């Protein structure tokens, strides 16, 4: 086996318009909507850092400057908190602050799809394997999804993707992979199909928004024809790359919330709130009362 090169960099695309969350996203990027008290994008950054990522490349677009501000120092705020004696909040903010030079931003000038957004990061990634985290997909579990993906990558090299299982009848909603030989932290991928017709999916393992890809993907995306939605699709690029390089999949043992949808965003807020030691019990009782009241209204209707 060729030497497995260390994954040091991650790409996080944050260029989307967030139209499914209008009017909230008219002035606030969807990635800055909060799950409890942390922006959605912060969860992706924390997951990447916990997996050992040293440098994060954000692919942004117009009106996303607030994301860059979020990952910058705020001396006026720190000074105000210090005068108020709020040392715990200062410590939390300082822990979230990236090291100098460990974050880069590049623009996707036109909304040409996820594949194009990844391609926009090519010069900042260079000739290195890299992680890719879709911030809308928020991992919830004892361990971050990217950490498990790193375990698989160190075992097999090449290209690796994270997957979860869906109900077989729902496979037509997702990008699905075919399951091949088992390895310690996952299995080989025999095929990838984007939203297969009902009853024709090769498995019920769907891509959940976490990847480690080799840099050859950039030259493929540079010439990739537009696919679904008249956009340059990452899945199409990965299919072309799989003709020359192996792909493996890591089944994530936690749960991923699709916070690009209203349902997933609300579910994530409830799940993360219930897991908090400071508010979990209160939230549980509140949710319980709301559910019981809702059920009562349904029975009375």
Which domain covers residue 72, as residue numbers? 9-260
Looking at the structure, do residues 117 and 225 belong to the same domain, yes or no?
A: yes
Does residue 168 share a domain with residue 126?
A: yes
Q: Do 217 and 288 fall within a single domain? A: no
The structure tokens listed for 249 are: 């999949």
Q: How far apart are CA 86 and CA 90, in angstroms?
A: 7
Closest CA to 35 of 274, 296, 300, 270: 270
Phi, psi for residue 246 in degrees, rounded to 5: -75, 150
Residues 47 and 136 in one domain: yes
Beta bridge partners of 160: 212, 248
Q: Interior CA angle at 16 toward 13 and 19, to 5°? A: 155
Q: Are residues 266 and 223 in the same domain?
A: no
Question: Does some domain include residue 141?
Answer: yes
- Does the residue 4 lie in any domain? no
Residue 182 host element (H or E): strand 175-183
Residues in the chain: 301
Domains held by the chain: number: 2
The answer to the question of residue 190 being in a domain is yes
Residue 1 domain-assigned (yes or no): no
Residues 215 and 163 in one domain: yes
Are residues 170 and 32 both part of a single domain? yes
Give the separation between CA 247 and CA 232, rounded to whole angstroms: 20
Which residues touch 6 (CB under 8 Å, ≥6 apart)?
none
C-alpha distances out from residue 16 to 117, 183, 229, 253, Å = 10, 35, 14, 28
State the angle between helix axes of 87-96 and 75-83 in degrees (0 to 180), rounded to the nearest 10. 160
CA 121: distance to chain centroid?
16
Burial 250-288 (b: 16+ CB within 10 A, else e): bbbeeebbbbbeeebbebbbbebbeeeeeeeeebeeeee
* 2 in any annotated domain: no
Enumerate the H helices of the chain as residue ranges.
40-50, 65-70, 75-83, 87-96, 114-119, 122-125, 145-156, 216-222, 234-241, 262-274, 280-300
Specify the CATH number for the domain of residue 99. Answer: 3.90.550.10
Shared domain check, 280 and 192? no
- Quote the pLDDT of residue 260: 92
Number of H helices, E strands in the chain: 11, 13
Cα distances from 22 to residues 17, 26, 65, 68, 261, in angstroms, run 9, 6, 19, 22, 12
**pLDDT tens, residue order, the chain (301 aa):** 467 899 999 999 999 888 899 999 988 999 999 999 999 999 999 999 999 999 999 999 988 899 999 998 888 999 898 998 888 888 988 888 888 889 999 999 888 889 999 999 999 999 999 999 999 999 999 899 999 999 999 999 999 999 999 998 888 888 899 999 999 989 999 998 888 888 888 999 999 999 999 999 999 999 887 777 778 889 889 999 999 999 999 999 999 999 999 999 999 999 999 999 999 999 999 999 999 998 888 888 7
Same domain, yes or no: 200 and 172:
yes
In a domain, 272, yes or no: yes
Give yes or no: residues 266 and 155 share one domain.
no
Asked whether 45 and 95 are in contact (CB, 8 A), the reply is no
Q: Is residue 3 a part of any domain in this protein?
A: no
Question: Do residues 207 and 269 share a domain?
Answer: no
Cα–Cα distance between 152 and 287 in angstroms, integer? 38
271 and 255 share one domain: no
């Amino acid at each position: 086996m060729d030497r497995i090169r260390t994954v040091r960099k991650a790409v996080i695309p944050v260029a989307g318009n967030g139209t499914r969350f209008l009017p909230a996203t008219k002035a606030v990027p969807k990635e800055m909507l909060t799950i409890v008290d942390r922006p959605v994008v912060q969860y992706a950054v924390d997951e990447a850092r916990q997996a050992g990522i040293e440098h994060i490349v954000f692919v942004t677009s117009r009106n996303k400057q607030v994301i860059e501000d979020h990952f910058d120092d705020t001396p006026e705020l720190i000074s105000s908190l210090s005068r108020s004696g709020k040392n715990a909040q200062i410590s939390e903010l300082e822990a979230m602050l990236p090291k100098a030079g460990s974050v880069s931003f590049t623009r996707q000038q036109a909304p040409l799809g996820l594949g194009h957004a990844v391609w926009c990061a090519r010069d900042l990634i260079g000739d290195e394997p890299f992680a890719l985290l879709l911030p809308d997909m928020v991992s919830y579990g004892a361990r971050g999804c990217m950490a498990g993906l790193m375990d698989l990558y160190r075992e097999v090299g090449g290209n690796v993707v994270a997957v979860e299982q869906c109900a077989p009848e729902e496979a037509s909603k997702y990008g699905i992979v075919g399951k091949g030989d088992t390895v310690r932290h996952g299995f080989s991928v025999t095929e990838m199909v984007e939203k297969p017709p009902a009853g024709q999916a090769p498995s019920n393992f769907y891509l959940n928004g976490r990847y480690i890809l080799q840099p050859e993907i950039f030259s493929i995306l540079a010439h990739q024809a537009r696919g679904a939605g008249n956009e340059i699709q990452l899945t199409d690029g990965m299919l072309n790359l799989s003709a020359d390089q192996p792909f493996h999949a890591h089944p994530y043992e936690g749960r991923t919330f699709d916070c690009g949808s209203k349902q997933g965003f609300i579910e994530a807020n409830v799940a993360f709130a219930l897991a908090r030691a400071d508010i979990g019990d209160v939230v549980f009782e509140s949710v319980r009362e709301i559910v019981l009241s809702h059920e009562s209204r349904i029975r009375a209707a």
